[in-house]
Structure 1
Amino acid sequence: MRITLEPVDGVHVTTLIDNSSDALLPDEGLVRRWGLAGTAGPLPVVPNGMSLGGRAVDFLRAEHGFSALVELVDGDRRRRVLFDTGITPDGLIGNLDRLGIPPDTFEAVVFSHGHFDHVMGLDGLARRLGRANLPVLLHPDFWLRRRIKGPDGIFEFPTPSRPAIEGAGFTVVEDRQPSFLLDGRLLVTGEVDRTTPFETGMPPAHQAYRDGEWVPDQLVHDDQAVVLHVRDKGLVVLTGCGHAGIVNIVRHAKRLTGVDRLHAVLGGFHLRPGPTVAPSVQLLTAEAPAVVVPAHCTSWQAQHALAAAMPAAFTPNAVGSRFEL
């Protein structure tokens, strides 16, 4: 399948939820930081009874999860889509308030997959918006019950509820195939082709409930990414967790669009320690992206390997970082 992804003048990606928050990261290159050393925004003052004058500063919350604001820049027009919503009910909406981003400016919500650390912040967003009738784009496997079965017991994931999401006023749009938003300028990949031999997904202990029984769910088929084409630069690929494999995702985006140049790749790469790290870093380096931002669920070993392989492109992530691509 070959589709036409309309180019845009620019893309701004703002990290709303991630595993780290750092007030001392400075601006650098294409990224503006929110904190003491950056220029993306001032620190808000909040009441505090333990300080002289009764005031202190607030700061962005980090969570084990992911959420990002995708802002398309085309001429004088800017359009916004929310990608994932983090893990806690109030983490996302709290950080939106701290960043001064009105949630009623979103045109849609896209979910990378159904794992709870990417979904459950929708609760706070729904309470704030009321019945906003926003479209929510997702893969049909998003609704699966899932669990981790280990030697020390079983942890069943919180599962998203379709009646609750639709009852809150969201319009669910399910598709396994690629789909467009924003007049053909933002591509949701749909289910990603698995072509590399080393990107094998989750361990067998990750299971899904299908047809009345728990079965291994290593591939997490609902994993999907967002892709944009920056004019004269190339593709921007944003992942939530990257269960499909970051190399598979990049290659899938290039095959779908026919655009051979990768400008930036950001988000969760799901590179846990193990044999997947080395070939993933090698092949991603061969794509020669100008910007690489590994975030949520990318191990420190993989972070170090990516930084060593692509020192000019590698940029650390933190909540509040705005990448102006």
Structure 2
Amino acid sequence: MVKISKKLTSVDNVKIISLINNSPKYDSYLKGCFGVSFWIEAGSDNNKKIILFDVGPLVEPLVYNAKLMGLNLSDIDMIVLSHCHFDHTEALHGVIKEIGHKVSVYAHPDIFRPNFILEPEYMNYAMKDENSKGNIEKLGGNFILSKTPIEIYPGVLVTGEVDKVTAFEKTGGVSCFTIDEEGRTIPDLLQDDLSLVMNVTGKGLVIITGCGHAGIVNIINHSIKITNINQIEGIIGGFHLLEAKQDRVDKTVESIKQFSPHWVAPTHCTGIIPTAKFAFAFGDKFKEINAGDIIEINR
């Protein structure tokens, strides 16, 4: 694990818009679909970047939701992909066409590997076909692939590969497989799972996850180590507890409470019961997030 030599710089203002999520905000007329995409504005009014964190599985609801919320996809400056799975990446080729200009795409070097499940039937989860590296580059995507942290804008960091040290967290894809160098089918540990971390001036870290395959507690610990900042403002994204046993869910909730975040917003693959446990444990610090919901953090 690479640790940056000094404390991560800070950004004054952050806006997080849930563009794609499993369900839409109540009475919003937006579209929900199983996946994740966050529209993130970071910086000041005079100098800010727009980052699209994941793109979801389908282009149509993303374009529809963006238009209904008054968001212009051509304004996007960069894209971050949390990992290879289709519910986070499949819309990439269509999104880049909508952006209409060259755009940097940050991801892990392993993001193009084979990835699939075998039960209940074979399904390909990999970056493939129109989302192949060559095709995305032809459309204007400039891949920046790194296993180690990258500060993509002052105060905004892509974590790179996450250290997995928490004993109770079951990491990886559970039922996902890949192909090794000798052509054998082996379990996929989803080493490409990464997150986005922002240090908001006077507030602390905001951590954004895709599915959290690396383990949400591991991700928080890793974020603290690579930024040299232990104050947590908030955590949003998939915590991947959908199939977790009650003991792991309870340990996860209690562990996150120890970090004293100002808010938590579990979404997507967290699961109904785990999400309810976070709601009870965190009270008014819990945020329910659906497509169309917005979180703003200002210095």
Give distance in 2, aligned partners of 1:324 and 1:257: 21
Of the three residues 97, 111, 114, the one matched with 1:142 is: 111
1:278 paired to 2:278: no
- What is the Cα deviation at residue 142 of structure 1? 0.7
The Cα shift of 1:84 comes to 0.3
**Which protein has the larger Cα radius of gyration, Structure 1 or Structure 2?**
1
| TM-score after normalising by structure 1 | 0.85
Change (3 A) 1:234 1:129: closer
Q: 1:95 aligns with which of 65, 68, 71?
A: 65
Does the Cα contact within 8 Å between 1:84 and 1:118 map onto a contact in 2?
Answer: yes
| Match of residue 61, structure 1, among 23, 27, 31 | 31
What's 1:71 paired with? Answer: 41
**In the alignment, structure 1 residue 317 sits paired with structure 2 residue 285:** no
RMSD, aligned α-carbons? 1.5
- Return the alpha-carbon distance in structure 2 between the equivalents of residues 69 and 155 of structure 1: 28
Whether 1:173 and 2:144 are equivalent positions in the alignment is yes
What runs of 5+ residues in structure 2 fail to find an aligned partner? Answer: none
| Number of equivalences | 288
| Greater than 6 Å deviation, 4+ residue runs | none
Structure 2: how far apart are the matches of 1:159 and 1:278? 34
Q: Which residue of 2 aligns with 1:155?
A: 123
2:32 and 2:254 mapped to 1: Cα distance?
30
In proportion to residue count, which structure has more helix? Answer: 2
What letter matches 2:52 in structure 1? Answer: L
1:248 counterpart = 2:215: no
Question: In the alignment, is the contact (CA less than 8 A) between 1:113 and 1:139 conserved in 2?
Answer: yes
Give the distance between the partners of 1:129 and 1:304, measured in 2 at CA: 37
> Within 5 Å, which residues of 2 pair with 1:103-252?
103-130=73-100, 132-150=101-119, 152-160=120-128, 161-182=132-153, 184-202=154-172, 204-211=174-181, 212-217=183-188, 219-252=189-222
Per-residue deviation at 1:240? 0.8
Q: Deviations over 1:213-272 (max 9, x none)?
A: 22101x311000101111111100011110011110011111111111101000111112
C-alpha deviation, 1:204, in angstroms: 4.6
**Offset of residue 203 of structure 1:** 5.7
In the alignment, which residue of structure 1 is the partner of 2:25? Answer: 22
Q: Distance in 2 between matches of 1:88 and 1:15?
A: 15
Report the secondary structure of 1:90's partner residue. helix
Letter of the 1:7 counterpart: S
User: Which sections of structure 1, spanning at least 5 residues, go unmatched?
Assistant: 25-34, 36-58
Q: What is the alpha-carbon distance in structure 2 between the residues aligned to residue 117 and residue 304 of structure 1?
A: 23
Shift of 1:285: 1.0
